Amino acid sequence: MASKPSTAPRIVIADDHHLFRSAFVDLLNNYSDFEVVGEAEDGRGALELCRHLRPDLVLMDVGMPGTDGLEATRAIKRELPRTTVLMITASQEPRHMAEALRAGAAGFVLKTAPPPQVFDAVRRALEGESPLNQEVARQVILSLTDEKQEEAGSPVSEVPTRRRPDPASGGALTPREVEILRLVARGYSNQQIASELHISTSTTKNHLQRVLAKLGAADRAQPVAMAMAMGALPNL
């Protein structure tokens, strides 16, 4: 195998099933743009590897014995916020995936996904995007929104349908920002959003950064959930 370029993103893979872990290792190591630098069979092992290796990305199984993927993700993002975590899952249960996003994961990839989808999900996560299947993304966002409403003690029927984000929290969302949020909620990548709206990718990223700042959100998934909870995206 040819040597990897020094700039190749360094990846740790955590999965308690040896066959799945080996398959992902072989898959990514055969792709010249990535380098697998460590393997772990549980969340604790993944955290220890991250402390020593400082990888760019962890491909993390959700369900593992002992320290599971969610607990490990929280710990990794707390100690090493620059390390991206992409969840591996065999389940498409929206609430489980919503919990992964709340833990700090950038997104998820299904264990049954074909190689091109795995490569694309890893690449997008490393570029700061949130790789989510379009339909499942809608369900995850709705799940996050429902949880916010439940925490606030307000049933869905009582949430105003047209209330905008509070300008005091950083300014109301502009029509273009709302438009971009709709596309994010549909699973569009930054490049796809730019193409759809006939703007540059850098302009798209700037819009998203302003949305994060206005809503006080920490990642790409949160602003959509927050905007929906406030009724800013009534016709998603």
Fold of the domain built from segment(s) 137-229: Rossmann fold (3.40.50)
Beta pairing partners, 56: none
Cβ atoms of residues 77 and 83 within 8 Å: yes
Supply the pLDDT for residue 142.
55
Q: Classify residue 165 by its DSSP letter.
A: P
Q: State the Cα–Cα distance between residues 134 and 131, nearest whole angstrom.
A: 9
Q: State the Cα–Cα distance between residues 25 and 35, nearest whole angstrom.
A: 9
What is the 3-state secondary structure of 145-158? HHHHHHHHCCCHHH
Domain segments of the chain as ranges = 10-131, 137-229
Q: Do domains 10-131 and 137-229 have the same CATH topology?
A: yes
Rounded to two decimals, the pTM is 0.63
CATH code of the region 10-131: 3.40.50.2300
Report how far Cα 213 is from the mean position of its chain's Cα atoms: 18
Cβ atoms of residues 234 and 189 within 8 Å: no
Low-confidence ranges of the chain (pLDDT < 70): 1-6, 32, 91-96, 131-172, 185, 187, 215-236
| Number of Cβ atoms within 10 Å of the Cβ of 78 | 9
Supply the pLDDT for residue 155.
43
Supply the pLDDT for residue 143.
54
Q: Which helix (H) or strand (E) holds 110?
A: strand 107-110
